[in-house]
Amino acid sequence: MRLLEAHPEYSQRQLSRALGVSLGKAHYLLRALLDKGLVKAQNFQRSERKLGYLYVLTPAGGKRKAQLMRSFLVRKEHEYEQLQREIAELRAQLDSERPTP
């Protein structure tokens, strides 16, 4: 959703390249966002002979993006705290195993 928000003019091919997924998967993901009402497609003229779409987050899409970001942040903060505890335990273990002169 961040990519669509930053580049609503991207084609499905450009989205697939930027996300590192196949064109079919990009289409599938985009279709799911459209079906859920989180993104809307607006026609626009990209050149004189080619019709394209502008993919725009809907208000519901913006709200869902914020929820996902909040959930992601909470999960990453939890992982960070776990890593800090594990590092502290490993340091304590190393300190206790150090030979005394």
What gap in Å lies between CA 18 and CA 87, rounded to an integer? 35
Domain of 62, in residue numbers: 2-97
Q: What is the CATH number of the domain that holds 53?
A: 1.10.10.10
For residue 75, with 0-12 CB atoms within 10 Å meaning exposed, 13-18 middle and 19 or more buried, which class applies? Answer: exposed
Q: What is the pLDDT of residues 1-15, one digit of tens each?
A: 888 888 888 888 888
| Number of folded domains that form the chain | 1
Q: What is the pLDDT of residues 40-89, one digit of tens each?
A: 877 655 545 445 677 777 778 878 877 887 887 888 899 999 999 999 99
